[in-house]
Amino acid sequence: MIKQLLLSAVCVATVISCSNNNPQKSLNYLSMNKPDTTLKLFAPGTVSRGLYERDFTINPDGTEIFYSIMSRNYSVIVTSKLVNNKWSQPEVAHFSGSTEYFDAEPHITPDGKHLMFLSTRAPEGMEQKEGWHYQNIWVCDKTNDGWSKPYNLGKPINTDSGEYFPSVTNSGTLYFTREEANGEQYIYRSEMVNGKYQEPEKLPKQINRNKFQYNACIAPDESYIILCTNITDGKSRRTDYAISYRSDNDTWSELTLLGNNINYSGSHALSPYITPDGKYLFFSQSRQNSSTITRYNTTDMYKAINEPQNGNSDIYWISTEAFKYRK
């Protein structure tokens, strides 16, 4: 039932034509006009359509996207594919949509071989719990037929604490958030060695400045990291997008805010994502459209509810030239 409801909610009226016949040379991004250093709402009416959308990712040849749609009662991962130079109607991914658990935060690895995501589905041998329990990182592998059945990434990444928001570099290093038993949240990373993830290390104080940072996105070349935190007072749960630059000898700069063109005073930072080509930052933001209406009628209200920038989370994007470090 939930899959049918979401399909009717997110399906576009017409299939979007693709103007690029060779997506491997230039990512298509649903034929949208690409942004410069001023942010743009991404795919209004198609991806950003007034639901609670976040967590965008795209595969390295630009032919498949995934993102999350959430409400109080569900959290699912939605996908659209570029087939015969046309984007398909968005639909709930085959591995998602259950009413028993939540899925979110999809991330396609830069080599296109794995799709990682957060899921609250119970680990093997455990009883399924309602709500945001068992937050672990799960994986689907790319096959000739599409994406495999998901499996739990397991140790040493997943523990009895919560692990979520995977982000992977070109070399295979995994960055993620770990929520500890006391509710504190820190950014970790784990290198891939001979096909296996190593024991995760907690990033230094330049990244983990206080007890509450989460949803870190690493640039594919590992030159910088963007995460969600409060570096103004370090105490409240009000968060912004902040950036730290990594040197060649693996030291990190102090976190700085990305600025008012990305951070918005009425919204919490949620889910940054750097595209495989390193050219764009996608992120989520909740905005309320200003209105000149002096008295609402039902038509106005229905229209406002079913359009982006209605107070729910929408997906935005901006060129990384807005903040990319130049040596």
Q: What is the DSSP letter of 29?
A: G
Number of H-type helices and E-type strands within the chain: 2, 25
Q: Quick one: 75 exposed, middle or buried, by C-beta within 10 A (0-12, 13-18, 19+)?
A: buried
What confidence score (pLDDT) does residue 6 get?
46
Structure tokens of 317? 């994007």
Which residues, at least 6 apart from 158, have a Cβ–Cβ distance to it below 8 Å?
123, 136, 137, 152
Percent of the chain, pLDDT > 70? 89
Q: What is the CATH number of domain 2-20+29-322?
A: 2.120.10.30
How many other C-beta atoms lie within 10 A of the C-beta of residue 236? Answer: 9
Tokens representing 95?
């591995």
Band (pLDDT 50/70/90 cuts) for residue 10 is very low
In the predicted structure, residue 23 carries a pLDDT above the cut 70: no
pLDDT tens for 67-115 read: 999 998 999 999 999 988 889 999 999 999 999 999 999 999 999 999 9
Question: What average pLDDT does range 169-186 have in this prediction?
Answer: 94
Q: State the Cα–Cα distance between residues 244 and 231, nearest whole angstrom.
A: 12
Q: What is the pTM of this model?
A: 0.88
Q: How far apart are CA 226 and CA 3, in angstroms?
A: 32
Measure CA 231 to chain center.
21
Mean pLDDT calculated for residue range 300-305: 78
- pLDDT of 26 over the 80 cut: no
> What is the tens place of the pLDDT at every residue in 181-195?
888 999 999 999 999
HEC string of 50-99 equals CCEEEEEEECCCCCEEEEEEECCCCEEEEEEEEECCEECCCEECCCCCCC
